[in-house]
Structure 1
Amino acid sequence: MKFYDCATAPSPRRARMVIAEKRIDVETIEVDLRSGAQFSDDFMAVNPGCTVPVLVTDNGESLCENASIVRYLEAVYPDPPLLGVSPIEQARVAEWVWRSEFEGLISVMEVLRNTSKSMKDRALPGPAPVPQIPQLAERGMLRGQRFFKTLDERLTQTPWLAGDTFSFADITAFVFVEFAAWVKMVPGGDLEALTKWRDACKARPSGQV
């Protein structure tokens, strides 16, 4: 297998953490997004969408989204399980992955892509130019702060987002919380459950990648 990564980007970090949790040896190829390497002919042959992460299987199939990458790795390397075991665990993982993406990660990307000078006319991923909209950055900041509180409330009830076991839901939310600092979106010091959970995620070997 080959894994196309970018060390500074949040989306491939999610797949990188899955690989670390499952202790998989995989060839890693760094894609320098800042220099526009994702738009090169070589990379577009792997993923015409010009985004990372990408996992190329031993059969040559390109998996270009975290959703497909974690599903594939969960099926091939089921231990430890990251998508839940019981029906309710699987449902909770799916619920909190979706919420962490839609309410969390998207809010950070709204801020980053609509304020960064390096992303002028690149407000959405992909090769087509898209202009920045400053008002979306303002909304993104509000959405992110609201989701911090949602996470804290959930984590006062359970040690991990989907229940008693660390899962892909925690990976997704952890990457949001960590990446949010890049746009100066920081959770309040009164969110004690969120802080405790974040420290527990960082203490895991996968939290260091």
Structure 2
Amino acid sequence: MKLYGANAGNAKRVRIFIAEKRIELPRETLDLGTDTRSPEYLKINSLVEVPALALDDGQIITESMAISRYLELIYPDKILMRKSPIEQAQIEMWSQRIFWQLFLPIGQMVRHELPLFSNVLEQVPEFAAAQRRAMPGKWRWLDREMSDGRRFIVGNSFSFADIQGMVPLMLGDIFDLSVPGDCKNVLNWANSLRRRSSWTA
């Protein structure tokens, strides 16, 4: 197998996932905007996006969630998506909530704000600004949800839902969208994640 990635949020999720599971995979780091748009990479992913996982038989898996699910099944040590139906459902639910409420707004802001994406879509600066304004409220929503004292997104065990949350935390640091100081529950959770070795994956 070979993992194709870049300095991008979706690729970061997979890097954190494999670091948590201690999986060793050959990797190729691509440059966004050049390598990812090359004729060679177009054969791997026609959407010119990362990550992509090339299997030994030539099959390709794209999308960070799909790659993570595949790796979870073939590397069953240290389960991050849980075993019981209710645990799987809760992690899926919270992964989706974190994605839609935190990851996607930052991602949309980035795509409509950075010149790197100017030839990928029609950028709307006002939309980027609206996403930026919305983020403090998004973090406060999560803070209220975590006011029950849980250590992690789903109870007291680290899971894939926390990995979903690590990337918005990192992107928030980069793009001045960090967690507001009054979000004590989220800040405690964030501080615990920053201490994990996978934070630097």
Q: TM-score range by the shorter chain?
A: over 0.9
Q: Are 2:149 and 1:151 equivalent residues in the alignment?
A: no
What displacement does 1:155 show?
A: 2.5
How do residues 55-94 of structure 1 correspond to structure 2 at under 5 angstroms? 55-94=53-92
Question: Are the aligned partners of 1:114 and 1:136 in contact in 2 as well (CA < 8 Å)?
Answer: yes
Once the two structures are TM-superposed, the CA of residue 28 in structure 1 deviates from its matched residue by: 0.6
How do 1:154-193 residues align onto structure 2 when only pairs under 5 Å count?
A: 154-157=145-148, 158-193=150-185
Structure 2 portions without partners, runs of 5+: none
Q: Secondary structure of 1:85's match?
A: coil
The structure 1 residue matched to 2:117, chosen from 116, 119, 122, is: 119
Equivalent position of 2:197 in the other structure = 205
Question: 2: CA distance between counterparts of 1:60 and 1:154?
Answer: 43
Equivalent position SS for 2:43: helix
The normalised TM-score by structure 1 is 0.90
Q: Which residue of 2 aligns with 1:44?
A: 42
Contact preservation (8 Å) 1:11, 1:53? yes
Letter of the 1:142 counterpart: R
List structure 1 segments (4+ residues) > 4 angstroms apart after TM superposition. Answer: none
Shift of 1:169: 0.6
Deviation readout 1:103-135 (Å, 9 max, x if unpaired): 11111122111122232232xxxxxxx211122
Amino acid of the residue matched to residue 27 of structure 1?
P
Counterpart selection for 2:122 from 125, 131, 134: 131
In the aligned structure 2, how far is the partner of 1:76 from the partner of 1:3? 15
Distance 1:143 1:78, change over 3 A: farther
SS at match of 2:56: coil
Cα pair 1:111 1:137 within 8 Å, conserved: yes
- CA distance in structure 2 between the partners assigned to 1:146 and 1:88 by the alignment: 29
| Aligned AA (1:154) | E
- Alignment partner of 1:9 is 2:28: no
Aligned sequence identity (%): 29
Separation of aligned partners in 1, 2:48 and 2:106: 20
Could you say what secondary structure the match of 1:156 adopts? helix
Tell me the number of residue pairs that the alignment of Structure 1 and Structure 2 aligns.
200
| Superposed displacement of residue 84, structure 1 | 2.0
Partner SS, residue 190 of structure 2: helix
Does structure 2 conserve the Cα–Cα contact (< 8 Å) formed by 1:160 and 1:166? yes
What's the offset of the Cα at 1:181? Answer: 2.5
With the length of structure 2 as denominator, give the TM-score of the two structures.
0.93
Does 1:108 pair with 2:106?
Answer: yes
Structure 1: 5+ residue runs without aligned partners?
123-129
Segment of structure 1 superposing worse, 145-154 or 88-97: 145-154
User: Residue 54 in 1 paired to residue 45 in 2?
Assistant: no
* Distance in 1 separating the partners of 2:19 and 2:114: 30
* 8 Å Cα contact 1:89/1:163 also seen in 2: no
